[in-house]
Amino acid sequence: MGRWALLPSWVSATLLLVLAALPAALAANSSGRWWGIVNIASSTNLLTDSKSLQLVLEPSLQLLSRKQRRLIRQNPGILHSVSGGLQSAVRECKWQFRNRRWNCPTAPGPHLFGKIVNRGCRETAFIFAITSAGVTHSVARSCSEGSIESCTCDYRRRGPGGPDWHWGGCSDNIDFGRLFGREFVDSGEKGRDLRFLMNLHNNEAGRTTVFSEMRQECKCHGMSGSCTVRTCWMRLPTLRAVGDVLRDRFDGASRVLYGNRGSNRASRAELLRLEPEDPAHKPPSPHDLVYFEKSPNFCTYSGRLGTAGTAGRACNSSSPALDGCELLCCGRGHRTRTQRVTDCRNLYCL
């Protein structure tokens, strides 16, 4: 099939994803390939909330692994949630880094974040964490909204919770979101090298952050507006709150290397462990972001590194922070343009 197509409305309400299996050569380097579905979804109106939608992706796209396709088939309605979570994650990434040299640029096609993800740097760590968090967040919310046929609200919290409140309502299903996110997102990672461990760790850090930022919400019940008793449930954080936490962890990310470099069988099993590059530092926790390679400076264009540079970006001449002209323009100077109609001053790096 040469393009997307909608099947007739009389076809049964399932979600069909047809993709050719990845060639072995591509499968070995498929890290983050699934991100490419965000460009497909944003360029069409095919991904709607309708459960009767039949979606067929052309085989040549090869965006999802065999396991990812199976998970989509087993959970009707979930592809919409995955795509929506990825779109939200991209927006959040751009927001968090809007005033920095690297501003989370994206491109059309299957390589959404460009060549930077081929490097084991902090920026790659954040990309993996926020996209993993976005999928977990979106799937957990969709379960409680009834958009996915294979999950519902989390009803396990029931009965008394305290002296003046009890569990009830519809808690967001974070456990299903984390489990599906781990199965779907992590299955795109192949190998047993340091990059593989880094990506898996940062994927889990994103999911863990969504879980740890959940909050209890309550509704009061009683005569004349009194709060005699409360019904409470667990609610997901906003993705902005998750992004704020992950950005702070980006700034404090841990540089890591392999733990044990022994040669016997037991030691080889322990190779699948990350330790801080500096022995004086604590090992990274499940919440931390990790990296193993220094970031480029992102000041100038580089086709090899996939960096666009900062020329033409707006900067703040009065700020000493990362959005200030001195840092954002990398010492090259800047031009000032005054728009008298709106009384605004826009500064651009040279």
Q: How far apart are CA 101 and CA 330, in angstroms?
A: 9
Backbone φ and ψ for 291, nearest 5 degrees, come out as: -150, 165
The whole-number pLDDT of residue 91 equals 97
**Is 22 part of a structural domain of the chain?**
no
Banded model confidence at residue 60, pLDDT cuts 50, 70, 90: very low
The whole-number pLDDT of residue 17 equals 40
Q: Could you tell me the pTM of the whole model?
A: 0.82
In this structure, are 227 and 168 located in the same domain? yes
The whole-number pLDDT of residue 41 equals 57
Which H or E run includes 265? helix 265-270
**Is 13 part of a structural domain of the chain?**
no
- For the cut 60, the answer to whether the pLDDT of residue 12 exceeds it is no
Q: Average pLDDT of 102-108?
A: 92
SS3 136: helix
The whole-number pLDDT of residue 59 equals 46
Contacts of residue 288, defined as CB under 8 A and 6 or more positions apart, other chains included, come to 205, 249, 252, 253, 254
Range of the domain at 178: 70-309
In this structure, are 115 and 141 located in the same domain? yes
In this structure, are 341 and 278 located in the same domain? no
Pairwise pLDDT comparison (290 vs 230), residue with the higher score:
290
In this structure, are 178 and 290 located in the same domain? yes
* DSSP H helix total and E strand total for the chain: 10, 14
Q: What is the 3-state secondary structure (H, E, C) of 77-128?
A: CHHHHHHHHHHHHHHHHHHHCCCCCCCCCCCCCCCCCHHHHHCCCHHHHHHH
Pairwise pLDDT comparison (39 vs 154), residue with the higher score:
154
Lowest mean pLDDT among 59-68, 116-125, 270-279: 59-68
**Is 4 part of a structural domain of the chain?**
no
Q: How far apart are CA 335 and CA 346, in angstroms?
A: 8
Contact call for residues 316 and 324 (beta carbons, < 8 A): yes
Rg (CA), the chain: 23
The whole-number pLDDT of residue 194 equals 92
Q: How far apart are CA 21 and CA 12, in angstroms?
A: 25
In this structure, are 251 and 281 located in the same domain? yes
In this structure, are 301 and 208 located in the same domain? yes
The whole-number pLDDT of residue 19 equals 35
Q: How far apart are CA 92 and CA 209, in angstroms?
A: 14
In this structure, are 268 and 328 located in the same domain? no
Banded model confidence at residue 260, pLDDT cuts 50, 70, 90: low
In this structure, are 196 and 153 located in the same domain? yes
Residue indicated by tokens 């039949």 = 54
- For the cut 60, the answer to whether the pLDDT of residue 44 exceeds it is no
**Is 129 part of a structural domain of the chain?**
yes
**Is 298 part of a structural domain of the chain?**
yes
Single-letter amino acid code for the residue at 345 = R
In this structure, are 280 and 328 located in the same domain? no
Q: Which residue, among 168, 159, 135, has the nearest Cα to 37 in the 3D structure?
A: 135
Q: How far apart are CA 103 and CA 289, in angstroms?
A: 18
Percent of the chain clearing pLDDT 90 (strictly above):
50
Q: Which of 105-109, 215-219, 284-288, 322-326 has the highest mean pLDDT?
A: 284-288
Q: How far apart are CA 83 and CA 66, in angstroms?
A: 17
Q: What are the structure tokens assigned to 328, written together?
A: 């954002």
Pairwise pLDDT comparison (21 vs 208), residue with the higher score:
208
Contact call for residues 66 and 21 (beta carbons, < 8 A): yes
In this structure, are 304 and 209 located in the same domain? yes
**Is 1 part of a structural domain of the chain?**
no
Q: Please, how many CA atoms are within 13 Å of residue 108, restricted to the half-sphere of its CB?
A: 4
**Is 58 part of a structural domain of the chain?**
no
Residue indicated by tokens 């500096």 = 278
In this structure, are 212 and 329 located in the same domain? no
Q: Average pLDDT of 165-170?
A: 84
Q: How far apart are CA 87 and CA 37, in angstroms?
A: 9
- For the cut 60, the answer to whether the pLDDT of residue 264 exceeds it is no
SS3 5: strand
User: H helices within 146-261, ranges in order?
Assistant: 174-186, 194-212, 239-251
The whole-number pLDDT of residue 119 equals 93
- For the cut 50, the answer to whether the pLDDT of residue 241 exceeds it is yes
Percent of the chain clearing pLDDT 70 (strictly above):
78
**Is 51 part of a structural domain of the chain?**
no
Pairwise pLDDT comparison (163 vs 218), residue with the higher score:
218
Backbone φ and ψ for 266, nearest 5 degrees, come out as: -65, -40
Number of domains in the chain: 2
Contacts of residue 159, defined as CB under 8 A and 6 or more positions apart, other chains included, come to 166, 167
In this structure, are 104 and 224 located in the same domain? yes
Residue range 219-240, pLDDT digits in tens: 888 776 677 788 899 999 999 9
Q: Average pLDDT of 86-113?
A: 93
Q: Average pLDDT of 16-43?
A: 56
Which H or E run includes 344? strand 344-349
Burial 35-48 (b: 16+ CB within 10 A, else e): bbbbbbbeeeebbe
